[in-house]
Amino acid sequence: MISGIVNVLKPPGMTSHDVVSYIRRIYDIKRIGHAGTLDPAAAGVLPVFLGAATRLIEYTADADKTYQAEMTFGFATDSGDDTGKVTVLATDTPLPSLEELHSAMVSFSGPISQIPPMHSAIKVAGKKLYELARQGIAIERQPRNVVIKKIALLRFVSSKALFVVDCSKGTYIRTLCTDIGNKVGCPAVMSFLVRTRVGEFNLNEAKTLEEIAENKMAALLPFDIAIKHLSLAVLSDEDVKAFKNGRCVYYESHSLEQVFKVYDQAGSFVGIGEKKSSEPRLYPTKVLG
């Protein structure tokens, strides 16, 4: 059975689910999933996991992400982006100066609280928020804590500002645009979004759907690429056998990390191990090799 990861360049106009369905047909595989949903209008990196690699999705779903986005000042919408219904049109409101905009953006660096937009896939009482929004229903949403690790203004021309942001999972860029607009006293919406990185997966290495269909095996990446960020544990042949059989093995490490990517002496990926205490023992949590 095919197992691996495809770094997909999702085109605008498709949902993340649409992309997964397309990849499923190309590889003729049922066991498939993706990490980090992208809005239909957005483009960019969407890692798709096939076969046994789906067991590693959780390690990429929590990864930091990088976006390049454009925000447009002068109006607000019910969705927070330029596809929504206009709720505020501020034709007489002056645009912020370059200094004001830069200062406002910098103020959002670090841990912040965001209220998820109604047009999002978060489920409340079993229903996705965007489904309620389509029915004209707006409900109270609880704020979520996220981290803006880096935000930089690239260009500010007329009413449009282009910027790049490194952030934690769960960050809504359209909400960030709305909040920045509120900060400078001029309504704003997200008018363009491309995700350029998800953990170890980068835009310059992503494949279009056409490229994947043309040579599907060449597009398939080894699934341990998703866990490059984890600490390495190399086991002896005897310990590998025990690990694969679900038994903990002796492993002493000076690393403070609790989760390890496990390899054998030949450099083959075996699985994921976890240290549950300060004791020198490594417990198998996922065996894939």
Identify whether 166 is a catalytic site residue.
no
**Residue 75 contacts residue 88 (beta carbons within 8 Å):** yes
**CA atoms of 213 and 23, how far apart (whole Å):** 8
From CA 225, how far away is CA 205, in angstroms rounded? 13
Distance CA 23, CA 209 (A): 8
Q: What CA–CA distance (Å, rounded) separates 16 from 48? A: 10
Distances (CA, A) of 60 to 57, 133, 227: 5, 29, 8
Catalytic residue among 18, 28, 39, 78: 39
Angle subtended at Cα 4 by Cα 3 and Cα 9, rounded to the nearest 5 degrees: 135
Instruction: Write out the H or E segment, with its range, that includes residue 164.
Output: strand 160-167
Residue 117 CA neighbour count, 13 Å, CB half: 23
Q: Decide: 10 and 42 in contact? Cβ < 8 Å.
A: yes
Q: How far apart (Å, rounded) are the C-alpha atoms in residues 239 and 245?
A: 10
Q: Give the closest residue to 98 by CA, choosing from 179, 158, 151, 148.
A: 158
* Residue 4, token pair as written in the block: 């691996």
Enzyme catalytic residues = 39
